[in-house]
Amino acid sequence: MNNESKGMFFGLLGVASFGLTLPAIRYIIDFFDPIFIGLGRAVVAAVVASLLLLFSRQTLPSKEQLKKLAVVALGVVVGFPVLTSWAMQTVPASHGGVVLGVLPLATAIVGTIISKERPSIGFWMSAIVGSSIVITYSFLMGANSIHLGDIALFGAVVCAAIGYSVGGELSKQMGGWQVICWTLVISLPFILLPALSMWPENITNIPINIWLGFLYLALVSQLFGFFLWNKGLSLGGVVRVSQTQLVQPFITIIASTILLNESLDAMTIVFAILIISTVAISKKMKIRVKS
């Protein structure tokens, strides 16, 4: 397998590990504050990341790398987790999964800006069509209006696109798992107190299955999933591998139906297929790497 194929493989594994994120948030949102879900999971992940870095004796990042790690932290440690947690208070997880279907295109845009990858015109035409489909879906599901949850989800898309792109490029220098571990570690001093301030009352009354859902978010969505995802981005390129996210809406919708008993209406299925089709077409378009 060449690096691009390896990158696509690891990217798909990463996307599969992220696929239950929205259903998991929706599953536990009645027991925890959105801030606690968004930042608390990062605190747990940061503790594990600290141990991994300590026992593997990793060298400290340079000043330039620390700046980039801070950008990644704002995107995937603070922005995306908190905004998606807020969104899951008002919209179903399956709805959120379709809205996040624009994330591959958003990541490709940011990736083009910060990397040497230059997609063709056909790629961008597909990206515009895909974004239009997502916006149309949001309007139709919201009775011709934008819900607060949709605004939060689109904000989450921007945060994730920036975090993924910068993290993917940085992974070429530091390694994929090192990037997310250092990102979490440098975030810990800033997120610890806000997370603790939202610590739930009467924790003994919270069912074990709810805590297991929280642990999935902390250890898989916030940590180990990024080991695979960042490795894929570094091997295959941010723009190309970002398109593996096209399978995530399907994973999210199916999981929401099975785990949360959410209704799977025909409109959601049609729009999910349309979104994935446009991203699949864009994936076949040429991407030139600038020398």
The 10 Å Cβ neighbour count of residue 114 is: 16
What pLDDT score was predicted for residue 122?
A: 86
C-alpha 55: how far from its chain's center? 27
The alpha helices in 100-247, defined as continuous H runs, are 103-114, 121-141, 148-174, 176-197, 208-216, 225-236, 238-242
Query: Can you spell out the DSSP letters for 39-79?
Result: IIHHHHHHHHHHHHHHHHTPPPPPHHHHHHHHHHIIIIIII
Identity of the residue numbered 17: S
Q: How many residues does the chain have?
A: 291
What pLDDT score was predicted for residue 146?
A: 64
What pLDDT score was predicted for residue 119?
A: 83
Helix/strand/coil for 200: coil
> For the chain (length 291 residues), average pLDDT per consecutive 10?
84 90 89 93 97 94 95 94 88 76 86 85 84 77 66 92 94 93 96 93 90 96 95 89 81 77 79 80 77 65
What pLDDT score was predicted for residue 99?
A: 77
What pLDDT score was predicted for residue 236?
A: 86
Task: Please tell me the distance from the alpha carbon of residue 165 to that of residue 176, in angstroms, as a whole number.
Answer: 12
What pLDDT score was predicted for residue 142?
A: 61
- From residue 67, alpha-carbon distances to 49, 110, 170 in Å are 19, 17, 11
pTM assigned to the model: 0.86
What pLDDT score was predicted for residue 291?
A: 65
What pLDDT score was predicted for residue 259?
A: 75
Domain boundaries, the chain: 3-198+207-283
Q: Is 143 exposed, middle or buried (0-12, 13-18, 19+ CB in 10 A)?
A: exposed
What pLDDT score was predicted for residue 61?
A: 94
